[in-house]
A and B are shown apart, each in its own frame.
Chain A
Amino acid sequence: GQNIDQPTEMTATEGAIVQINCTYQTSGFNGLFWYQQHAGEAPTFLSYNVLDGLEEKGRFSSFLSRSKGYSYLLLKELQMKDSASYLCAVMDSNYQLIWGAGTKLIIKP
């Protein structure tokens, strides 16, 4: 079966750095997405990785290793507004998205 694993919840301190991991086992691979979802709101797109390596976008970076079935989202200089759930999703060989359950990130002052 297809599976996406990510931690259920993480806690970090304002101003610090946090890394949210995502491991996957899917039928084929056509890219990995990270979305941010604030409570009660719609997910919003953060990043897309299809090749190995690091993609940096401001305070957020996303890394992919296809051989290891592994990605992480790195958030720097954490702000209170970064408190949200972070969803990892993989596009399989049929171009369908397989979603992880999300990681709830709690930022403490």
Chain B
Amino acid sequence: EAGVAQSPRYKIIEKRQSVAFWCNPISGHATLYWYQQILGQGPKLLIQFQNNGVVDDSQLPKDRFSAERLKGVDSTLKIQPAKLEDSAVYLCASSLDWTRADTQYFGPGTRLTVL
């Protein structure tokens, strides 16, 4: 069974530029999560999708971050414009269904460096 795929693995940009990350969850997983992990800290949830609907985006900085999951499968997370403090690893995870506390499976993450 293929795991959660993410791309790119690394990205370096200048502040005020835009960047997008892509995630392909495990086949059949209805729930998809984006987490931000700043160096030396635990991951923090940014947004959660159930199929193509948003379950929770309370911690997403909506003035610069956006995310979509149009067909209920792949998802993209965008930052526009990026700030220095956005330097972090962006982790995507998926689970069968959020209502049963199903195990979340994580992708390898995208390491973003903002200069």
Q: Do A and B come from one complex?
A: no
